[in-house]
């Protein structure tokens, strides 16, 4: 097989991106429409990784979606490196800064509205697209530096950011808006004006490190690297990251602010505790646990061309289109379920819940969430395929932003 060229899309990257986007829809459906046992918790505040209240199927429904955001951000970095192979650094830098600003706008306006359906925008939500946007702006400055500077910066950010969890440092910095935006937010809410707030879900600094790492790994896909060489490196790094995760987790001292422990509910829950690493912000162990298997997948899937990879490839070629449309689709389904289950106008707004049409008690058990997930994925496929065809046959400037 010929080495991957910078002039064409790399199919395996799109297949992996498409797979994690499909999995992501499961998490968002669970957010909207999973109804818990009333004796366990409030629907909105139920944490599927809380080992005191969760159960294995619910835990793993959430756990498998942990792969989505880091893989998505990592592959964005890989794509930037490939872009640098066919365009000047100055051109790429300008594009990344503009695209980053655009993504922040999309997060604050288009995606926030998709999540909340609140036309008054009482709450702006800073999630993964915001983190990608600010990381792109920072990478837009860094691409002017030598390759190794970006890669080393990414390694340092990912490997060392948990040093900021030291109690003395955290007490000094946590609660300040810039520090929370960069690292310390734990779903922190800040007032903008009047009854308008913003919620920091994704603190950007660790995600920036993951994007810089992706940029560094993009070198495996440049001209001159054979499939055999690339596969060997991906296997080496994939198994290496998994080994780092296991060893550091066993030591239980560094790499995640929440140590694992033997659970009173039994061995299964002790295993869940071992796997229950921190996403907000993404810890070193979280990053190793998710990116390690992702690299193994890339190594194994490069030669595979079948119906499954063909479908995932379509989703992965139009990531922003998929991301935006699937959020609106899921929320519209939520509104249909809202009225079908007998809720009315008085239930549209619920206390302490930022989403409209999400009263406590709405939704279904986990099995029906999986069935609805299949429906959403099936509905999204022809939409993504049609948009991909349009994008492939047109050269309008705005297509590079969606």
User: Considering the chain, what is the average pLDDT of its residues?
Assistant: 93
pLDDT at 239: 98
Asked if 326 and 112 touch (Cβ cutoff 8 Å), the reply is no
- Mean pLDDT value of segment 177-189: 94
Residue 3 has pLDDT above 50, yes or no: no
- Which tokens sit at 220? 């495996």
pLDDT at 8: 58
Residue 276 has pLDDT above 70, yes or no: yes
Share of the chain above pLDDT 90, in %: 87
Residue 37 has pLDDT above 60, yes or no: no
**Which of 301, 331, 319, 309 is closest to 388 using CA atoms?**
319
Asked if 198 and 125 touch (Cβ cutoff 8 Å), the reply is yes
Secondary structure of residue 48 in the 3-state scheme = coil
Strands (E), 159-253: 188-193, 196-200
Lowest mean pLDDT segment, chosen from 124-128, 267-271, 285-289, 302-306 = 302-306
- pTM of the predicted model, to two decimals? 0.94
- The domain limits of the chain are 11-401
- DSSP run (H or E) holding 161: none
Lowest mean pLDDT segment, chosen from 24-28, 85-89, 93-97, 149-153 = 85-89
Q: Confidence band (pLDDT; 50, 70, 90) for 394? A: confident
In sequence order, the 6+-apart residues with CB closer than 8 A to the CB of 232 are none
In sequence order, the 6+-apart residues with CB closer than 8 A to the CB of 211 are 73, 74, 76, 77, 80, 132, 135, 136, 139, 154
pLDDT at 367: 94
**Which of 105, 184, 183, 178 is closest to 137 using CA atoms?**
105
Which DSSP string do the residues of 287-298 spell out, in sequence order? HHHHHHHHHHHH
pLDDT in tens, 351-377: 878 889 999 889 999 999 999 999 999
Share of the chain above pLDDT 70, in %: 95
Residue 12 has pLDDT above 70, yes or no: yes
Asked if 208 and 135 touch (Cβ cutoff 8 Å), the reply is yes
pLDDT at 1: 33
Rounded distance, CA 387 to CA 379, Å? 13
Rounded distance, CA 105 to CA 99, Å? 10
Residue 397 has pLDDT above 90, yes or no: no
Sheet holding 123-126, edge to edge: 123-126, 196-200, 188-193
Q: Confidence band (pLDDT; 50, 70, 90) for 252? A: very high
Give Cα 375 distance to the centre of its chain. Answer: 21
Rounded distance, CA 344 to CA 244, Å? 51
Q: Confidence band (pLDDT; 50, 70, 90) for 344? A: very high
- Mean pLDDT value of segment 267-283: 97
pLDDT in tens, 48-69: 999 988 999 999 999 999 999 9
Give Cα 299 distance to the centre of its chain. Answer: 21
pLDDT at 398: 76
Report the residue count for the chain.
Answer: 402
């Amino acid at each position: 097989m010929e080495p991957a060229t910078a002039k064409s899309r790399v199919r395996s990257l799109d297949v992996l991106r498409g797979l994690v986007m499909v999995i992501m829809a499961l998490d968002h459906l669970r957010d909207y429409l999973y109804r818990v046992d009333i004796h366990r918790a409030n629907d909105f505040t139920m944490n599927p990784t809380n080992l005191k209240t969760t159960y294995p199927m619910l835990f793993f429904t959430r756990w498998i979606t942990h792969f989505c955001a880091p893989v998505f951000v990592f592959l964005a970095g890989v794509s930037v490196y490939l872009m640098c192979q066919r365009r000047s650094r100055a051109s790429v830098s300008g594009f990344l800064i503009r695209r980053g600003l655009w993504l922040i706008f999309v997060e604050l306006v288009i995606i926030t509205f998709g999540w909340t359906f609140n036309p008054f925008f009482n709450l702006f939500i800073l999630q993964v697209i915001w983190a990608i946007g600010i990381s792109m702006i920072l990478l837009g400055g860094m691409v002017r530096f030598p390759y190794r500077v970006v890669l080393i910066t990414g390694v340092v950010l990912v490997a060392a950011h948990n040093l900021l969890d030291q109690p003395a440092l955290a007490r000094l910095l946590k609660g300040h808006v810039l520090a929370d935006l960069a690292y310390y937010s734990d779903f922190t809410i800040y007032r903008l004006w009047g009854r308008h707030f913003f919620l920091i879900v994704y603190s950007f600094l660790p995600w920036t490190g993951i994007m810089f790492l992706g940029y560094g790994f993009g070198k495996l896909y440049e001209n001159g690297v054979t499939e055999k060489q690339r596969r060997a490196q991906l296997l080496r790094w994939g198994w290496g990251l998994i080994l780092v995760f296991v060893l550091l987790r066993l030591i239980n001292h560094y790499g995640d602010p929440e140590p694992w422990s033997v659970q009173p509910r039994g061995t299964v829950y002790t295993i869940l505790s071992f796997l229950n690493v921190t996403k907000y912000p993404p810890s070193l162990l979280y990053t190793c646990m998710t990116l390690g298997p992702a690299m193994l997948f890339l190594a194994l899937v490069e030669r595979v061309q079948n119906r499954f990879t063909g479908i995932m490839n379509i989703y992965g070629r139009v990531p922003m289109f998929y991301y935006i449309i699937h959020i609106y689709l899921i929320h519209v389904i939520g509104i249909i379920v809202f009225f079908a289950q007998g809720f009315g106008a008085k239930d549209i707004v619920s206390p302490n819940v930022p989403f409209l049409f999400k009263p406590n008690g709405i939704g279904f058990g986990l099995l029906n969430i999986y069935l609805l997930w299949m429906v959403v994925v099936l509905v999204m496929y022809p939409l993504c395929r049609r948009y991909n065809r349009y994008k492939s046959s047109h050269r309008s400037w705005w297509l590079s932003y969606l």
